[in-house]
Amino acid sequence: MIRASIISPLLLAACVQAPQTSRAPFTPDYEGVETRLLDGDLVQFHVAMTGARNGADLDNYAECAAAQYALIRGYGFARHVRTKMKQEGGNQTADAVYTISPSLPRGLRTIDAEVVVADCEANGIPTV
């Protein structure tokens, strides 16, 4: 009797249909990065793209730019400070600020520049 009560909910769960999700292809157009050194190790990145699925795609683009910039300047790490995103029609832009440093900085959103750049290249996301 105990087995029947356990099996019945499992059988009913199997009958529930999975939600339908859109399988539209992801075709981003990365429109460029503008970089500005604000003060010492504080760097601002303006990125623009179309075709982003959500804010995470734009955030990833900015992170890729920050990681490559850190490597270009001879640093191995960066830390995210803030990002402001805006969408106008199909155009999405982000104004992101990162600190760059030779050693792993304090904070929650730190990135290892070499690892991130390799990941960006593997996923077809351009860097600076």
pLDDT (tens digit, 9 = 90+) per residue, 68-117?
999 999 999 999 999 999 998 889 999 999 999 999 999 889 999 999 99
What pLDDT is attached to residue 6? 52
> pTM of this prediction?
0.80
- Whole-angstrom Cα distance, residue 71 to residue 77? 8
Query: Which pair of tokens denotes residue 117?
Result: 């750049």
Residue among 89, 90, 26, 88 nearest 60 (CA): 26
Query: Which pair of tokens denotes residue 85?
Result: 């995103």
Running DSSP on this structure, what letter comes out for residue 54? S
